[in-house]
Amino acid sequence: MNRTVFKQALKQGFFFFVLSAFSAAAEAPSSSQALADKILRYRGSPLRELHRLPVIHVRDYGAVPNDGTNDFTAIQAAVKALGKGNAELRFEPGVYDVNPGGGAYSQKERPVLFFRGLENVVVDGQGASVLIQRPSAGFFKAQGCQNIIVRNFSVDYDPLPFSQGTVIASDPVEKWIEVRTDDGFPALDDPFFSAYASWGMLKDPQFPGKLKAGAPNVLFRSSCERTGKDTFKIVLDKPFAEFLQVGDRYAQVCRASGGCEYFGNENITFDRITFHAVPGSLFVGADTSRLNVLNCRGKLKNGRLLVNGADGVHCQAAKVGPWIEGCEFEGLSDDCLNVYSLPFYVVEVLGPKKFRITRPQRIEPGDPLVFFRPQTGEILAETEVISLKKDVVTLKDEVTGLNLAPKGTAYDQRGWKIYDHAYNPNRTGNWFVYRNNYMHDGRRFGVFIKASYGLIEDNRFERLSDCAMQIQNEPDWPEGFWARNLVIRNNRILNCAFVNNHIPVHVEWARLGNRPSKSAQQQNIFFEDNSVRAFSGPCARFDGVDGLALSNNVFESGSGDPSAIIGEHVTLLEKDR
């Protein structure tokens, strides 16, 4: 494919790009279809069935639906009977009441189902409903497992892991609001809300789950005290006069366990699981390759304003990325999908090719290692791992001139973001598929992508408070890394990014301060046959992309903005038509 490079500002029709010349990127794919085919071949189809497994019935161990008794102990006995795996654990239709117990709230809550080191297991709920009676507990956790399928469940909580109500009084000067909680929801001063990260948001009365237009993404509180049977005075961290009124609907989250958690696994499938409530993310974990989330739902229920306290699918440091298909996510409190990895920091320089680093378990000989300067967004060096002994890595090439933490500085995962650091592009969740999903009426992004070789197609994004698509490294958190070789096609984006006048589609290579870098490290992005309707302003922004293909897209803006697409430091593969 011919690469067209512009060296000056271009304004034509509904484009406004500041386009710059760069050295040629890695060879561009011949077409979006060729790239999509490559992604699908490498990724492989999701695990959907494991055949001819002996069946273990939870009933045989005392877990009986609809009997009103706590089934936790019986379910643990049935899980123990699985041994090392090669079996199916089968539930029946009906309601299983489960209270894992555990005393004081902690970061090590017991889930309903916990698998460690199992292989070839199916857990089939057959339509069972699980009612979790501890608001901090999760439904499922797998660690060091392979070939696991969990399917056909619905999950709810009593008591709920979040609360909601109506603002009945406020004082903008003193920064407090008074909230009356809705019937059946937890008290806002419950110890649960102080045991974990907790914050609030304002909701739209017309579209349950949607944030109130004009309000911020989050309301942090400094204190909460009871003023009556179901009323509470909440002191907020920031002023609110311009966006908050008496009568507003208020929701409070508390981020404890995820619904389904996975750490260090291979080939895990969640199929037809519906969550009506979860304290944290619906699906969350790390170091798990070939995660599959199929036909799952986060669904509002019974007048609730929330489903959960965090993401839809959260995938950190996978060798092979997730496949998410046929899902619906509404009422979420964070990104519907987040695919990324964390940086490696240099703790000690042992030579120009030898360093002591953090997180050595996520590096193998032969992996690439890319050094990044957060203040400018520059790539300082691209090299290869030759050997790894404990936390000491030896590189193929010399890497010098790094800005590192002064000797003796205590390690701080987020505080060290100001120093040069490195990423392993092989452990960011590459080779992912996100297709035929519906994301609506929730907080933050639809997809937040910091990985390469991805197919994003046939999705619908509607009334999300921030960008439907945020494709950006995130040095301020910090997370990364670059996004290269993406096919984004046949998606529909409606009325997203209404908070702070953001843009529905945002592709950027960033530096510290959430500012665009002049370096173009995002590469070979095909954006075609998409429909984007913005509340106001531009529909899409592309910054720092070497190889952007735009074709057959439809852009509309409520403000009639003549520049539907804006950006700078972009090299085009082909022009939109």
Domain map of the chain by residue range? Answer: 9-21+32-42+337-341+428-574, 56-93+111-159+256-277, 163-253, 346-425
Residue labelled with tokens 């984007």: 532
* pLDDT of amino acid 13: 37
| Euclidean distance between CA atoms 260 and 271, whole angstroms | 12
Tell me the pTM.
0.95
- For 260, the token pair is 């389904």
H or E segment to which residue 80 belongs: helix 72-80
163-253, what's its fold? Thrombin, subunit H (2.40.10)
Let me know: does 140 contact 109? Beta carbons within 8 Å.
no
The CA–CA distances, whole Å, from 396 to 266, 366, 404, 478 equal: 29, 9, 20, 26
| Euclidean distance between CA atoms 455 and 461, whole angstroms | 16
| Euclidean distance between CA atoms 506 and 539, whole angstroms | 9
Q: Calculate the dihedral angle through the C-alpha atoms of 524, 525, 527, 532, rounding to the nearest 10 degrees.
A: -150
* pLDDT of amino acid 562: 66
pLDDT tens digits, residue range 91-138?
Answer: 999 999 999 999 999 999 999 999 999 999 999 999 999 999 999 999
* pLDDT of amino acid 2: 34
Residue labelled with tokens 């798990």: 288
| Euclidean distance between CA atoms 159 and 366, whole angstroms | 49
* pLDDT of amino acid 14: 44
Report the SS3 class of residue 360: helix
Which residues are bridge partners to 523 per DSSP?
484, 546
Nearest partner of 530 among 509, 499, 498, 507, judged by Cα:
507
Report the chain (577 residues): mean pLDDT per 10 consecutive residues: 32 47 58 98 99 99 99 99 99 99 95 99 99 99 99 99 98 96 98 97 97 95 97 95 94 98 99 99 99 99 98 99 99 99 98 98 98 99 98 99 97 97 99 99 99 99 98 98 99 96 96 96 98 94 97 91 87 66
DSSP string for 79-120: HHTTTTEEEEEE--SEEEEE----SS--SSPPPSEEEES-EE
Burial class (CB in 10 A: 0-12, 13-18, 19+), 278: buried
* pLDDT of amino acid 561: 63
| Euclidean distance between CA atoms 10 and 566, whole angstroms | 10
Which residues are bridge partners to 447 per DSSP?
337, 469
> φ and ψ at 324, to 5 degrees?
-120, 120
Residue 427: CB atoms within 10 Å: 25
Report the SS3 class of residue 488: strand
Nearest partner of 422 among 344, 480, 492, judged by Cα:
344
H or E segment to which residue 32 belongs: helix 32-43
> One-letter amino acid identity for 528?
E
> One-letter amino acid identity for 457?
E
Q: Which residues contact 256 (CB under 8 A, 6 or more apart)?
A: 105, 109, 135, 136, 137, 138, 161, 192, 195, 196, 279, 280, 309
* pLDDT of amino acid 241: 82
